[in-house]
Amino acid sequence: MATIKIGIPPLVLEVAVSDLKQLGMTIAGLLKRRNFAGYYYLISKNSGKCLDVFGWNSNDCGEVVQWPLNHGANQQWLLARIPDGHYYIFSKSSGKCLDVEGAKTEDFAKVWQHTFHGGDNQKWELRDAGGGYFHIIAKHSAKALDVYHSSLEDGVHVIQFSLHGGDNQRWALQPVDPHSV
């Protein structure tokens, strides 16, 4: 079997030529991973509205809705990446974590804020949806963060729903100006 040596001494790997394509894809995949740690506005592609803790609520089970961007701390979300590649998403205004109600796994389960406990219903995957948008996927259910019924109205709840690729499940991550954090 033919092999090739890759690297700079003292770190040199000997790889079978037949494995080079797979190695290249693995390296490319690792390089494409991005760390989005920091504060962001999460903007729905469907409505252009921002993920918002309604009424600046600071309690557990506080409603999370879409609302026009006003740059308030209740619209700023801290993305904290964890070693498995998922994110915890914390509201700047309350310090609470984006959470699927009661770790439910069915469609239409409410997404709200809750005290951090580290459960899989508080872990989110940022999955590239193309065009600068992401699907935000709950780890425990593999369901997407979704604006209820693709509504364009202010104050509409976000839920989890099976991924269908609609614009109400696509989110832009708009960095918060670091001077306002």
CATH number at residue 63: 2.80.10.50
Give whole-number Cα distances, 166 to 26, 88, 107, 169, 174, in Å: 29, 23, 15, 6, 20
**b/e 122-161 (16+ beta carbons within 10 angstroms → b):** bbbbbeebeeebbbbbbbebebbbbbbeebeeeebbbbbb
Largest pairwise CA distance in the chain: 66
Domain boundaries, position 152: 36-180
Q: How far apart are CA 127 and CA 87, in angstroms?
A: 11
pLDDT digits (tens, 9 = 90+) for 101-115: 999 999 999 999 999
Q: Please tell me whether residues 43 and 24 are part of one structural domain.
A: no
Structure pTM?
0.81
Together in a domain, 68 and 8:
no
Based on the fold, state whether residues 66 and 137 are members of the same structural domain: yes
CA distance 59 to 39: 21
Q: 121-149 pLDDT, tens per residue?
A: 999 999 999 999 999 999 999 999 999 99
